[in-house]
């Protein structure tokens, strides 16, 4: 854009000189340099913090699916990359061991309740001890608690989608044996209930960014189009500023000015839900400062949107 404006000035200057409206003296000879400096200092450098621009990335939460119970997989009705609703079945584990455990506990419970009844009757006739009644009741209470757990385990043999989304990179098949170890996920579930769009902004340009400010975004996924939105939040931490509890002394390292991340929300929720995870683009944030530069930034962003037809990077 600065080249375009400078070329426009050169054309105007050439016309004025040809028409002898201005003399072609030393001042007008060096005026393009002065105009270039004026554009840089007065418009394009302040535009960095008045209307900062940065790379945008679409992120979706990924849930590692780990079953709550172990066993052999008997059915995988789900298809990879197919839309699912919360509660849809992902796969089933053989329920026979858990059903048999539940049946055995129910049989023991029936016997325990009968024993409570008999010991209570004996106690009422003076032929039994209160301790026997209390022991029998405690066993019944314990069996009831175990039955609750057994029912829960049986219900967990059917693994369901935790939210709206889809399964990607599906490799699980019938006959595989799965475990309930947290380090052994069996599939990756992409949660589409929430679309996260992050914009990286250089630290020197992030000083005036605030919640609610208007945003324009263009994605390579949809070249030639610009979408509006607003700032949701500015993340107050990046990896370079994070420290973790450790028994080691501080290790010195080179300090880098990592960009800050701004989370934005598009006005078109339907389009946002259709964006694939990993979609990239460019976003411009319009702050309350250097407002004359906002128009230039809008023009530059639309140039980027058009170039997305041919620019793969």
What's the whole-model pTM score? 0.74
Q: How far apart are CA 150 and CA 244, in angstroms?
A: 40
pLDDT in tens, 114-136: 888 878 877 777 777 777 778 88
Q: How far apart are CA 301 and CA 242, in angstroms?
A: 33
pLDDT in tens, 134-143: 888 889 999 9
Q: Which of 19-23, 47-51, 85-89, 180-184 has the highest mean pLDDT?
A: 85-89
The mean pLDDT value for 278-282 works out to 94
Q: Long-range CB contacts (< 8 A, 24+ apart) of 124-130?
A: none
| Count of residues making up the chain | 313
pLDDT at 13 (0 to 100): 63
pLDDT at 166 (0 to 100): 92
Tell me the pLDDT of the chain averaged across its residues: 86
Class of the domain covering 62-191: mainly beta
Residue 296 has pLDDT above 90, yes or no: no
Across 42-46, 105-109, 164-168, 278-282, least confident range: 42-46
Supply angle C-alpha 177, 183, 185, rounded to 5: 50
In the chain, what are the domain boundaries?
1-49, 51-60+194-240+254-313, 62-191
Do the domains 51-60+194-240+254-313 and 62-191 sit in the same CATH topology, yes or no?
A: no
Quick one: 51-60+194-240+254-313 is in which CATH superfamily? Efflux pump adaptor protein, beta barrel domain (2.40.30.170)
The mean pLDDT value for 175-180 works out to 92
CA nearest neighbour of 218 among 95, 292, 307, 94? 307
pLDDT in tens, 70-112: 999 999 999 998 999 999 999 999 999 999 999 999 999 998 8
């Amino acid at each position: 854009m600065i080249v375009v404006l400078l070329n426009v000035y050169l054309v105007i200057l050439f016309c004025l000189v040809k028409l002898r409206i201005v003399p072609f003296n030393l001042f007008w000879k060096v005026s393009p340099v002065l105009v270039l400096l004026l554009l840089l200092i007065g418009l394009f450098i302040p535009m960095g913090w008045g209307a900062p621009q940065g790379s945008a990335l679409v992120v979706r939460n990924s849930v590692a699916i780990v079953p709550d119970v172990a066993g052999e997989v008997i059915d995988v009705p789900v298809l990879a990359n197919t839309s699912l609703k919360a509660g849809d079945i992902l796969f089933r584990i053989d329920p026979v061991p858990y059903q048999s455990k539940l049946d055995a506990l129910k049989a023991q419970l029936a016997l325990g309740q009968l024993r409570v009844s008999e010991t209570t009757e004996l106690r009422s006739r003076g032929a039994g001890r209160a301790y026997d009644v209390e022991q029998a009741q405690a066993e019944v209470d314990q069996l009831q608690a175990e039955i609750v757990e057994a029912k829960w385990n049986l219900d967990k043999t059917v693994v369901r989608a935790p939210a709206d989304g889809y399964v990607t990179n599906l490799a699980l098949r019938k006959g595989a044996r799965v475990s309930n170890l947290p380090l052994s996920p069996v599939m990756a579930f992409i949660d589409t209930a929430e679309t996260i769009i992050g914009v990286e902004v250089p630290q020197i340009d992030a000083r005036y960014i605030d919640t609610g400010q208007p945003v324009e975004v263009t994605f390579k996924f949809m070249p030639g189009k610009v979408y509006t939105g607003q700032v949701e939040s500015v993340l107050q931490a990046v990896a370079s500023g994070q420290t973790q509890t450790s028994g080691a002394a501080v290790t010195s390292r080179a300090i880098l000015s990592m960009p800050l991340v701004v989370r934005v929300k598009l006005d078109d929720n339907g389009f946002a839900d259709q964006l694939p995870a990993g979609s990239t683009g460019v976003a411009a944030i319009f702050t309350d400062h250097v407002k004359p530069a906002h128009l230039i930034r809008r023009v530059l962003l639309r140039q980027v949107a058009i170039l997305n037809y041919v620019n793969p990077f």
